[in-house]
């Protein structure tokens, strides 16, 4: 019997593309929110169905995976939600699915994980996304943190409260004042209102039928959290709930929200075969850990890692979609990389302070907006999506603009 092993099959990495992405309107968490009596899984089911409707040239049986993230994987966000969503969306039984959790970066990780599989030739087409119904599942509800975290001083007690970590970041960087974060929050509201008025938001929203015991049936077609016309005076009057005389308020931080997102990823050669659009190309990504007490600083090392691994510099990035969990963490990122607070490359449509941040879903929301911005800016070659992540992490994904006209290096 021969003991010679058969030769290994040579593999070539494939280009991974972002084909399409949609999301639900984002609602306010709580009994009065638009999705108060809507199931979390139904939100993401509607997203998957709309992706199929928008891309009829994609045979459902060609989908190799359905990866759906949720931070709280219980109740209507449990039961291996990627698989249950695939079944309830009408995908063939042959389409597998899984659930994953990286807190706020759940959908981002769904993209990087399945995108890596595409690049390696293990998948051709996938659906990736996330959902969070914070009205049904408040952040941290039902968890049982190991007492060693505190008893052995692995982390400070503030590390388990995201608002307190934002106050800690203010302490570390006193030059990021409350006035700066309020100004950033007001600008986010203004930019979102301008983007909405110009028709840049609604094309990506999936209308959702809603029901309320008191309100009856309705149709959610717009984001609920935005507060257009917010002024600095309005923000200055808000309370600081995490610390007496603190700096973090409801006006310079994202709220508690419900919503879902989803996208189609494919190998570029498969997208061409099927006639699917190519809205972005995946260049690379990076995840990094930081002290949990200053969780918001995470996007700095994750971006440095992603840039290093792709051979790019921050000067190559022409558009930034940064998740605005807290204004202070965005400003810490901008300061580190020498970018002005009002740089037009940063969140041109506004961000989570206005739109909302339904935790595990937000990563794909950033990608949807960046894809739209790429179409409007053929002079930009590279953009990135980045976010801070609970328990002290950051995530960054770098994308290439397929519409780049080659006139500039960015």
SS3 389: strand
Q: Of the candidates 387, 381, 337, which has an alpha carbon nearest to the alpha carbon of residue 366?
A: 387
For the chain, the C-alpha Rg in angstroms (whole number) is 21
Q: Taking the CB of residue 86, how many other CB atoms lie within 10 A of it?
A: 27
Distance (Å, rounded) from C-alpha 304 to C-alpha 379?
Answer: 23
Q: Catalytic pick from 66, 137, 377, 388?
A: 388
Question: Alpha helix (H) ranges present in 198-326?
Answer: 232-236, 268-274, 299-310
Q: Taking the CB of residue 70, how many other CB atoms lie within 10 A of it?
A: 30
Q: Of the candidates 250, 203, 259, which has an alpha carbon nearest to the alpha carbon of residue 70?
A: 259
Q: Catalytic pick from 66, 104, 133, 136?
A: 104
How distant, in Å, are the alpha carbons of 31, 105, 290, 313 from that of 389?
27, 6, 10, 23
Is the separation of the CB atoms in 16 and 398 below 8 Å? no
Query: Would residue 104 show up in a list of annotated catalytic residues for this protein?
Result: yes
Q: Catalytic pick from 133, 136, 357, 377?
A: 357
DSSP state of 177: -
Judged on CB neighbours under 10 Å (0-12, 13-18, 19+), 235 is buried
Is the separation of the CB atoms in 69 and 39 below 8 Å? no
SS3 228: coil
Distance (Å, rounded) from C-alpha 101 to C-alpha 105?
Answer: 8
Between helix 327-336 and helix 162-172 the angle, nearest 10°, is 40
How distant, in Å, are the alpha carbons of 19, 347, 373, 383 from that of 377?
18, 14, 6, 11
Report the catalytic residues: 104, 357, 388
């Amino acid at each position: 019997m021969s003991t010679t092993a058969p030769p290994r099959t040579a593999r070539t990495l494939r280009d991974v593309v972002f084909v399409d992405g949609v999301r639900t309107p984002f609602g306010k968490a709580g009994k009065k929110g638009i999705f108060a009596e809507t199931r979390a899984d139904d939100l993401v089911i509607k997203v998957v169905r709309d992706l199929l409707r928008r891309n009829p040239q994609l045979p459902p049986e060609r989908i190799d995976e359905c990866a759906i993230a949720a931070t709280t994987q219980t109740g209507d966000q449990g039961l291996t939600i990627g698989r249950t969503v695939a079944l309830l969306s009408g995908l063939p039984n042959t389409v597998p699915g899984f659930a994953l959790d990286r807190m706020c970066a759940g959908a981002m990780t769904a993209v990087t994980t399945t995108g890596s599989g595409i690049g390696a030739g293990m998948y051709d087409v996938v659906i990736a996304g996330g959902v969070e119904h914070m009205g049904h599942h408040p952040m941290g509800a039902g968890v049982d943190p190991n007492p060693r975290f505190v008893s052995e001083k692995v982390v400070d007690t503030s590390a388990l409260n995201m608002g307190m970590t934002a106050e800690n970041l203010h302490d570390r960087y006193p030059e990021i004042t409350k006035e700066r974060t309020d100004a950033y929050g007001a600008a986010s509201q203004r930019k979102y209102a301008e983007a909405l008025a110009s028709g840049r938001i609604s094309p990506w929203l999936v209308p959702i039928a809603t029901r309320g015991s008191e309100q009856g049936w309705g149709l959610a077609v717009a984001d609920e959290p935005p507060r257009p016309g917010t002024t600095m005076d309005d923000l200055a009057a808000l309370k600081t709930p995490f610390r007496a005389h603190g700096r973090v308020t409801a006006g310079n931080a994202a709220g508690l929200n419900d919503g879902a997102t989803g996208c189609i990823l494919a190998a570029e050669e498969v997208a061409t075969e099927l006639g699917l659009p190519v809205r972005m190309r995946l260049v690379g990504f990076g995840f990094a850990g930081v002290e949990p007490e200053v969780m918001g600083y995470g996007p700095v090392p994750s971006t440095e890692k992603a840039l290093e691994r792709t051979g790019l510099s921050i000067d190559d990035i022409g558009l930034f979609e940064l998740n605005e969990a807290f204004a202070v963490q965005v400003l810490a990122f901008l300061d580190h990389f020498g970018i002005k607070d009002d740089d037009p490359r940063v969140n041109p449509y506004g961000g989570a302070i206005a739109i909302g941040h339904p935790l595990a879903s937000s990563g794909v929301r950033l990608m949807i907006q960046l894809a739209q911005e790429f179409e409007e800016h053929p002079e930009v070659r590279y953009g990135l999506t980045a976010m801070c992540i609970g328990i002290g992490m950051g995530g960054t994904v770098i994308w290439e603009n397929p519409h780049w006209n080659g006139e500039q290096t960015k």
